[in-house]
Structure 1
Amino acid sequence: MFGTSGIRGPVGDVVTGELGLAVGRAVASGDVDRIVVGRDPRDSGRWLLDVVAAGARECGTDVIDAGMVATPTLARSVGREGADSGVVITASHNPPEDNGLKLWNPSGQAFDAAQATEIEKRIEEGEYALGGWDEGGDRTTIEDATERHVDALVEAVGSIGDGDLSVVVDLGNGAGGVAVTALERLGCEVEVMNGEPDGSFPNRPSEPTAENCRTLRERVAETDADLGIAHDGDADRMRAATESGRYPDGDVLLALFAREAAGEGDRVAAPVDTSLAVEDALEPLGASVTYTPVGDVHVAERAREPDVVFGGEPSGAWVWPAETLCPDGPLAACKLASMVAREGSLDALVDGVPTLPLRRANVEVTEKETVMERVRDRVEREYDSERFTTLDGIRVSFDDGWFLIRASGTQPLVRVTAEAREDDRTEELLDIAEGFVADATVE
């Protein structure tokens, strides 16, 4: 039921009113007195929020309705409102026909695997602590959740300038308007693209990829803008365009943020498919990378450790644990703008991060679990144990590179990634990894 980022899927198939009611009941059946609920702009979120709230109130839990807000706004509101849990109705960067539910702790961290398993168990077994006829919870609203998020961003970043920095922000018709308000209050000149919330995402697909954000890149390049910012539908992701219209890889942004946050002895949390460019950027500072399974939930969980000062995923999820354990796209936008204002050029910052040749490929399979078991068996036979890790899939490391083989969490695919110091070696490692998968498929 739960993937690496909550529950997601097509409305009317995977995500239904029945499911929303069950999730509301299941969350409220724990040691929970109050929950905060909110949604992204998708139309189905209107009634999904209502049924989640109804299920929680049926169990005697009070519901605080934040309305349409960015996911990091909702996550920050849980602790601030003295609530025990939060539920945001969003499918994040998925297409408009999808929706989903993601659950939050007061710390701003999403529910971990153990918590998600407990919710699943209650739903599967129908174990709900339903209240009596006179024990229903109350439903109230909060009107200032976004404003208070803006306040937190301004406090975290400080002043950027007096209109000297020009930023184009592509909201993708999502809920990330908090970033625009915060950047303006920080002293930036802001131009907004696709700013009207619309859950059908009429102007571009919600996921802020380089291709989907082509218009943003062109707009930044043809104007005097210093950088561009792109969010997905619920603004937990942030990607960027340079003043020349380049769209840096997520690994490069990760390296920039990590280098800014870390010092001697600090660690940065990143998933196992992260480029060695991040390790290279941190090594001169005496800092290091601590690897996690893929998924922002895992990155945030590792970021709770005291010497981890930052966590990120190349997909665009960025976590500053001193602020919140939720990936906060608007906070990342403000942090990056501040960095550009100080250094003068995002192009120059990007050029200062040496990159390595990295290749990714997907292999369609019918039984990915069986394939992965066979791949693991063969890797264990061919390589010494200190050379590979099974933290998430199988990552095999060499002196000059690595490859990763892991099953997709949502599709019938095995994903293969390879990186090395030289192009030819990257291709060689990718061929080796794909060979493992091919052999495991035909056995």
Structure 2
Amino acid sequence: MFGTSGIRGPVGDEVTADLALAVGRAVGIDAERVVVGRDPRESGAFLTDALTAGLRESGTDVVDLGLAATPTVGRAVAWESADAGVSITASHNPPQDNGIKLWQPSGQAYDADLRERVEDRIRTAEADLVAWDAVGERTTVDATPRHRDALVDAVDLAEPLSVVVDVGNGAGGVTVDALTALGCEVETLNAQPDGSFPGRPSEPTAENCQSLASLVGNTDADLGIAHDGDADRMRAVTADGDFLSGDVLLALFGRAAADAGETVAVPVDTSLAVADYLAEAGIETTRTPVGDVYVAAAASEPGVAFGGEPSGAWIWPTETLCPDGPLAACKIAAMAGERPLADRAADIETYPIRRTSVDVADKAAVMERVRERVADKYDSVSTLDGVRVDRGDAWFLVRASGTQPLVRVTAEAREEDRAAAVFEEAQTLLSKATV
């Protein structure tokens, strides 16, 4: 039911009002106060109502943030002295999907144990409903201004910049507010919240953000910012109009956040270029499974200064353990104000890395066959998340998506020909496992 990023799926099929009601009842058993917010998807309104009903009939008070970025929800759990937070969002998924993601007071997503507890309660229809005169209250709070103020306080801009922000028709307008408050000249793309995502697909990839890159590259803008539907992700464009890879951003953020002797948490599909660049400054890396909940858990450990994912999730543990795309936008603006992003990126030696995704009918069965084949063939294998094979001068990873019926393949080497060969090797392995 719960993937690494909560519940996600097509509305009316996997994600229904009945499910939202059941989640509300399950969370409400041991929560006295819960913060709830949603992205602009039309289905979010009735899913919020259903989830809120389940909470209130359990005697739980609800703080309704309305339309709010996921990091606003994550931060507001502590601000509102709540026991949990709920984001009604499918993040970067297409408009026909929606989802439910649960947050702890620290801002970290529910971990495996907490998710399993909620799942068990839903399966057994466990509930603790109260009498008619003991139902929880529902109050409305606008937490976005407080989030904006926290972002402004978190960074220092050497000088105001000209920034283009592609909000992606999502909930990330707080980025525009914060950058404006910091003195930046801000131009927006797709700023009107619309859960059908008419401006571009929600996921902020290079392909989907071509208009942003073109506008930044052909104007005097210093920086471009792009978010997904709930603004937990952030990607960036240099003043030259180049869309930076997630690995380059991870390297830049990690180097800026950590000092020598400290550690940066990265998922298993991260480029070797990140570790190499950080090592130059005496910064170590620790690998985690893919998913912000795992990166956040690692980032909460002593000595870990930052955690991030190449997909665009960035975590500064001293601020919040929720991936905060608007905070990342302000951080990258501060960096660009001190030195152009293109110059910073040029310092990072990048390597050829290949990624693809394959639709599969039963990803669990496919991955089991992959593990069996790899165990028989290779010596250096990690099963921390999926199957990662170290080939000495190269590596490849085969892992099931936590939110979609896909198996993802990643391969990298420091030389182009070697990367192509290892990528083909991994694809062949997966192909044989899907037969």
Pairwise TM-score range, normalised by the shorter structure: over 0.9
Compared CA separation, residues 309 and 428, structure 1 to 2 (3 A):
same
- Aligned counterpart, 2:133: 134
Q: Provide TM-score, normalisation by structure 2.
A: 0.97
Q: Does the CA-based 8 Å contact 1:24-1:53 persist in structure 2?
A: yes
Task: Report the secondary structure of 2:65's partner residue.
Answer: strand
- What are the within-5 Å matches in structure 2 for residues 34-433 of structure 1? 34-143=33-142, 145-161=143-159, 163=160, 165-343=161-339, 345-384=340-379, 387-433=380-426
> 1:253-305: CA deviations, max 9, x gaps?
11110111111211111110000011011111111111111111111111110
User: Structure 1 residues 270 and 49 mapped into 2: Cα distance closer, same or farther (>3 Å)?
Assistant: same
How far is 1:353 from its partner?
1.2
The offset of 1:42, in angstroms, is: 1.2
Residues 8 and 403 of structure 2 are in contact (CA less than 8 Å); yes or no, is this contact kept in structure 1?
Answer: no
Q: Deviations over 1:356-400 (max 9, x none)?
A: 00112334444432332222223222333xx22100111111331
Q: How many residues align?
A: 435
Secondary structure of the residue that 1:360 maps to in structure 2? strand
Q: Structure 1 regions of 5+ residues with no counterpart?
A: none
For structure 2, the 5+ residue unaligned runs are none
Name the aligned partner's letter for residue 12 of structure 1. G
Aligned residue number for residue 16 of structure 2: 16
CA distance in 1, matches of 2:100, 2:428: 37
Give the secondary-structure state (helix, strand or coil) at the position aligned to 1:236: coil
Using the alignment, how far apart are the partners of 1:383 and 1:14 within structure 2? 38
Q: Which amino acid aligns with 1:53?
A: T
Q: Answer whether contact 2:107 2:320 (CA < 8 A) is retained.
A: yes
Question: Distance between the aligned counterparts of 1:366 and 1:8, measured in 2?
Answer: 17
What is the deviation of 1:153? 0.7
- The DSSP-based 3-state class of the residue aligned with 1:285 is coil
- For residue 9 of structure 1, give the secondary structure of its aligned residue in structure 2: strand
Q: Which moved more, 1:199-208 or 1:363-372?
A: 363-372
Name the SS of the counterpart of 2:269 in structure 1. coil
Q: How far apart are residue 207 of structure 1 and its match?
A: 1.0
Displacement after TM superposition at 1:181 (Å): 1.0
**CA distance 1:67–1:242, change in 2 (3 Å):** same
Aligned 8 A contact 1:249 1:314 in 2: yes
CA RMSD of aligned residues (A): 1.3
Give, in angstroms, the shift of residue 315 of structure 1.
0.7
Pick closer, same or farther for the CA change 1:397–1:96 going to 2, 3 Å.
same
Tell whether the 8 Å contact from 1:160 to 1:188 is kept in structure 2 after alignment: no
Residues 1:440 and 1:289: Cα distance change in structure 2 (over 3 Å): same
Check whether the contact 2:73–2:87 (CA below 8 A) recurs between aligned residues: yes
Q: Secondary structure at the match of 1:198?
A: coil
Distance 1:206 1:404 in 2: 26
- Check the 8 A contact 2:157/2:337 in 1, yes or no: no
Q: Does the Cα contact within 8 Å between 1:229 and 1:238 map onto a contact in 2?
A: yes
Instruction: For residue 415 of structure 1, report the CA deviation from its aligned partner.
Output: 1.9
- Contact 1:208/1:230 (8 A) holds in 2: yes
Shift of 1:406: 1.3
Identity of aligned residues (%): 63
- Distance change >3 Å, CA 348–CA 155, structure 1 → 2: same
AA partner of residue 307 (structure 1): G
Query: Any idea what the Cα deviations from partners look like across 1:190-238, whole Å, max 9, x if unmatched?
Result: 1111111111111111111111111111110111000100011111000
User: Which one-letter code corresponds to 2:12 in the other structure?
Assistant: G
Query: In the aligned structure 1, how far is the partner of 2:402 from the partner of 2:85?
Result: 24
What code does the residue aligned with 1:409 have? G
Summarize deviations over 1:103-122 as a string: whole Å, max 9, x none.
11110011111111111110
**Aligned residue identity for 2:353:** L
Secondary structure of 1:200's match? coil
Q: Is the 8 A contact 2:399 2:408 kept in 1?
A: yes
CA contact (8 A) 1:262 1:285 kept: no
CA–CA distance in structure 2, aligned partners of residues 74 and 101 of structure 1:
12
8 A Cα contact 2:358 2:406, kept in partner: yes
Q: Does 1:439 align with 2:432?
A: yes
Structure 1 residue ranges (4+ consecutive) displaced by more than 4 angstroms after TM superposition: none
C-alpha distance in structure 2 between counterparts of 1:184 and 1:370, whole Å: 50
What is the CA–CA distance in structure 2 between the aligned matches of 1:377 and 1:316, rounded to whole Å? 32
Q: What's the CA shift for 1:160?
A: 4.1
How much has 1:125 moved relative to structure 2?
Answer: 0.3
Task: Answer whether contact 1:160 1:187 (CA < 8 A) is retained.
Answer: no
The CA distance in 2 between the partners of 1:407 and 1:234, in whole Å, is 23
TM-score by length of 1: 0.95
- The SS at the match of 1:321 is coil
Q: Say whether the 8 Å CA contact 2:5–2:403 is kept in structure 1.
A: no
3-state SS of 1:327 partner? coil
Matched, 1:26 2:26: yes
- Aligned position for 2:5: 5
| Separation (CA, whole Å) in 1 of partners of 2:269 and 2:423 | 13
Contact 2:259–2:283 (CA under 8 A) maintained in structure 1: yes
